Structure 1
Amino acid sequence: MRMNSNQAALARKQLDRRLEPLRSANLIPPPKGWIKAIREALGMTARQLASRMGVAPSRIPVIEKAEITGSTTIKSLRQAAEALDCQFVYGFVPRSSLDETLRARVAQKTGRTISRLDHTMKLENQALQKPDLLLEQQRMIDFALNGSLRGLWEDD
Structure 2
Amino acid sequence: MNIKQATLARKQLERRLDPLRKLELINPPRGWMKAVREALGMSTRQLAARMGAAPSRIPAIEKAEVSGATTLRTLRQAAAAMNCTLVYAFVPVKPLDEILRERAEEKAAQDVARLDHTMRLENQSLLKSDLEDERRRLVDTMLGGSPRRLWEDD
What is the alpha-carbon distance in structure 2 between the residues aligned to residue 81 and residue 35 of structure 1? 7
- Superposition TM-score, scaled by structure 2 size: 0.96
User: 1:155 Cα shift?
Assistant: 1.6
1:77-130 residue CA offsets vs partner (Å, 9 max, x unmatched): 000000111111111000111111111111111111100101111222222222
- Greater Cα offset, 63-72 or 6-15: 6-15
Question: Are residues 1:85 and 2:83 paired?
Answer: yes
Q: Which runs of 5+ in 1 are unaligned?
A: none
Q: Is the 8 A contact 2:100 2:147 kept in 1?
A: no
- Superposition TM-score, scaled by structure 1 size: 0.95
What is the alpha-carbon distance in structure 1 between the residues aligned to residue 6 and residue 51 of structure 2? 41
Give the percent of matched residue pairs that are identical in Structure 1 and Structure 2.
62
Aligned residues: 154
SS at match of 2:105: helix
Question: Are residues 1:109 and 2:97 paired?
Answer: no
Q: Is the 8 A contact 2:31 2:62 kept in 1?
A: yes
What is the alpha-carbon distance in structure 2 between the residues aligned to residue 114 and residue 12 of structure 1? 28
Query: Higher helix share goes to which structure?
Result: 2
- Greater Cα offset, 40-49 or 5-14: 5-14
User: 1:32 Cα shift?
Assistant: 0.4
User: 1:153 Cα shift?
Assistant: 1.1
What is the alpha-carbon distance in structure 2 between the residues aligned to residue 131 and residue 4 of structure 1? 34
Instruction: Report the RMSD for the aligned CA atoms in angstroms.
Output: 1.0
Which runs of 4 or more aligned residues in structure 1 lie more than 4 Å from their structure 2 counterparts after TM superposition? none
Match of residue 31 from structure 1: 29
SS at match of 2:150: coil
- Greater Cα offset, 56-65 or 5-14: 5-14
User: 1:150 Cα shift?
Assistant: 3.1
Match of residue 20 from structure 1: 18
